[in-house]
Amino acid sequence: MCGRFAITLPPDAMVQMFDATPANDLPDVPNYNVCPTNSIFTVVSGDGVRHLGPMRWGFIPHWYKKPNDGPLLINARAETVAEKPAFRAACRERRCLIPASGFYEWTKDDEDNRLPWYITREDGSPLVFAGVWQDWERDGEAFTTCAIVTTEASGPMTEIHHRMPVTVRPDDWGLWLGEEGKGAAVLMKQAPADGFEFHRVDRKVNSNRAKGPDLIEPID
């Protein structure tokens, strides 16, 4: 599961990192509380060029008659993404990268309160999630939509949640984007148990209206 994340990288840094051409309508940054249905940064590849542009987080299958005609598909399970009717074509033909600075997960205390945690890389480098995407259009509405691919959590991460996003290393970006032919399925696996760190953050991030850098600050 990945239901919230943060992105603090400037667009110029993402352009350089991915060697991508930027769109004109990129989302605002920093955003410390990226929520489903928000416009998020994504990278796709076509005709030998990578493109950094916005997509709506929340995959809309082609048979939906309106955006809310069914469940909000923010995640796609790595174990079934190639077979699920909603995702199987996108998994073969429309994969993207989704940059993030960190993401949130929740545990519960004895009183059933939701306690948020912020997860990042130990070395401070950006996270790059595996994603799938699709264009959707109906009755004058049109969106380019995406979902984050998730897999089983590993190592200490299992103390927080049993799922986590599939993260793609720089050496594998081309394979996931289809620049190096077939074989991207091998990337949909657990991340190494090491390399991640996490800390508790204030419960105000439980609200999708919360904003500001203090959302990712550790609390005692």
Residue type, 106: W
User: Which residues belong to the active site?
Assistant: 2, 105
Angle made by CA atoms 5, 41, 153, in degrees to the nearest 5: 40
Structure token pair of residue 154 = 């590993």
Q: State how far the Cα of 220 lies from the Cα of 202, in Å rounded to an integer.
A: 10
Pairing of strands 196-200, 114-121: antiparallel
The C-alpha angle 66, 72, 74, rounded to 5 degrees, equals: 130
Q: Is the dihedral of CA 146, 72, 150, 61 positive or negative?
A: negative
Cα–Cα distances in Å, from 177 out to 70, 128, 155, 183, 192? 28, 12, 27, 11, 21
What whole-number distance in Å separates Cα of residue 5 and Cα of residue 190? 19
CB-count burial class (<10 Å; 0-12, 13-18, 19+) for 27: middle
